[in-house]
Chains A and B, each alone.
Chain A
Amino acid sequence: MTPPSEQEMLGRPVHIRIELSSTVLEGKGALNLVHRITTQKLDDMQEGAVRNTFICDSVGRAIDYLSVWKLSDQILLSGLPTSSNSFRNILQKAVSWKDEIEIMIGDSSLVNLILTGRHIERSIIGIGLDPDDISGTNYSQFGTAYIRRTKPVLNHSAFHLIGPASAVEEIEGKLQENGATSLDISFWDYFRVQSGILGAGEIDGTNIPFELDAAEDISLTKGCYPGQEIHARMESRGKLARIMTKFSTNDNLVVGTHKTVSGGRIKITSLTSPTDSKTETKHGLGLVKPELIGKQLEMLDGSILTLPKP
């Protein structure tokens, strides 16, 4: 029997355990510290708020992409596991003698779930939450776990839930009682790429958030932060040298920069192999000059890439 395609997998509510780093800050000035070193305005966050922000180097390149959850007396930062060492190193150096901030690592204690797929709202209602109450900027508490709305996954509503392992395990059980299916993490990369959700390939310290279609996570009115001068200059120019795009290909390519026969280039940041046996089409994310969007690119090795129209 042919296994279902990724698209078919999302024809029902699903939950997927994804890997994210978890860092908890506690102490006076913790929120202000994160505000000072990242791209988003955070110093006005109230309890219950959640925002996305980048931590960049001084030339504006994204080192990590964080969700900042304002708890009562703690700040929870979830980021990419591949960037956690760099991010925590910056965070540790940023703590001044004036601060009384404790940095704690919760990677092995906290579990992250993505809830998505057709009718995921029904499963969420089934476990006792109202999906309409869950927004992208204010999280809801469910026992000892937190849940927020995130970028849609292949046009399905999506939610990020984070909590202690035992609580998440219990929630997974309840979701399954309410029609949801557990999917392996191997599906996530495909869903993420197809939905334009940033991952380790994009946040590798070489790309600028504006290029990654993430202008909403940058505040150019909050004041200085590392990388701000570069971001302000890019914004004032109003034109980007390269932007992120999805693409598909049936050929064998690898992550990295590839030249086209017409002299252009694409920097492939993520590439997924289909688990669906009905097709050989691979999907990926890459950075190209804006004028190449919507075109078919022929690479020097003969590979063909199709870039969808915006």
Chain B
Amino acid sequence: MVMVIMGILGGGGFSLPVAEAIEIVEVDLVVTEAAKIAMQTAMGDDLSTHALVISADAGGCSGYMYDMQIIPRPLGDEWQTVTIDNVAVMVHNRDSVLLNGIQIDFRDSLLGGGFQIGNPNADRACGCGKSFG
């Protein structure tokens, strides 16, 4: 027998939480030479069509985790673009307060290598360096 589980909505009476006002700041990024080279290498032939999107996702030991993705350039007023040596680095307004002023470095190492982010807005960071809060 297949049990169909109904959603609990349907009777009405639910309310949406009051929308939280999002603070938006103009994002500034500090990028080392090593990180600039690594970004250009990662972008390859997609420099003109794609962007490196840096995000702060909820989770990790300290509350937020960094995420970096190369995706087709997102459109819309909610995005900020910082161009670094022809690489479009984009940050969503929602993450602007958390990511403004971050220092991006690149470490070429087999263990613990890759992009490293230092965040002046973070009160704390977890041991692996991927989470901050």
Q: Please report which residues of chain B, range 89-133, place their CB below 8 angstroms from some CB of chain A when the two chains form the complex.
A: 92, 94-95, 124, 126-128, 130-131, 133
Main secondary structure of the interface of B (DSSP, over half): loop
Flag if A98 contacts B55 (CB, 8 Å).
Answer: yes
A108 in the interface (beta carbon within 8 A): yes
Closest partner residue, chain A, to B128 (CB atom): A224
Flag if A105 contacts B8 (CB, 8 Å).
Answer: no
In whole Å, how far is A33's beta carbon from the nearest beta carbon of chain B?
7
Residues of A within 8 A of B20 (CB): 89, 92-93
Chain B contributes a number of interface residues (CB within 8 A of A) equal to: 37
The total of interchain contacts (Cβ-Cβ below 8 angstroms) comes to: 115
Q: How far is the CA of A225 from the CA of B4 in the complex (A)?
A: 32
Which of B13, B94, B128, B131 interacts with A106 by CB under 8 Å?
B13
In whole Å, how far is B70's beta carbon from the nearest beta carbon of chain A?
14
Q: How far is the CA of A33 from the CA of B59 in the complex (A)?
A: 8
A48 in the interface (beta carbon within 8 A): yes
Closest partner residue, chain B, to A102 (CB atom): B16
**Given contact pairs A144-B10, A229-B126, A93 touches B16 in the complex (Cβ within 8 A):** no
Which of B4, B55, B59, B128 interacts with A37 by CB under 8 Å?
B59
Q: List 15 A-B contacts (CB under 8 A).
A: A36-B60, A47-B5, A58-B133, A72-B6, A72-B7, A89-B20, A92-B17, A96-B57, A96-B94, A103-B17, A106-B13, A106-B14, A141-B6, A146-B8, A164-B13
Give me the interface of B with A, judged by CB distance under 8 Å: 3-17, 20, 55-63, 65, 78, 92, 94-95, 124, 126-128, 130-131, 133
Q: Which 5 A-B pairs have the closest CB atoms?
A: A94-B58, A36-B59, A109-B13, A164-B11, A97-B92
Give me the interface of A with B, judged by CB distance under 8 Å: 24, 26, 33, 36-37, 47-48, 58, 71-74, 76, 88-89, 92-98, 102-106, 108-110, 141, 144, 146, 162-167, 224-229
